[in-house]
Amino acid sequence: MNWDTIAGNWKQYKAKIKEKWGFLTDEELDRIAGKKDMLIAKIEEKYGLTRDRVEKAVEDFLKRFDKAA
């Protein structure tokens, strides 16, 4: 699965993203609106993690969906 699939179906994936990163609010996820860079930046800000670590976590998240499909 690629990010375009998630961005195109943002409303469906938003709940799964919120499960993984629970400190993100619905309002923040609505503003992110499927933009990967915005999601990474917001996770960095909220969780105090490095960009590299967040990017890896997001990639792992995508791989999990690939396996489930």
Over residues 34-57, the mean pLDDT reads 96
- Residue 5 in this model has a pLDDT that exceeds 90: no
Q: What is residue 12's predicted lDDT score, i.e. its pLDDT?
A: 87
Who's near 57: CB < 8 A, 6+ residues apart? 43, 49
Q: Using the predicted structure, report yes or no on whether residue 51 has a pLDDT greater than 70.
A: yes
> Is the pLDDT confidence value at 62 over 90?
no
**Domain spans in the chain, listed from the N-terminal domain onward:** 3-68
Q: State the pLDDT confidence band at 69, using cuts at 50, 70 and 90.
A: low
Q: Give the architecture (CATH level 2) of 3-68.
A: Orthogonal Bundle (1.10)
Q: What is the pTM of this model?
A: 0.88
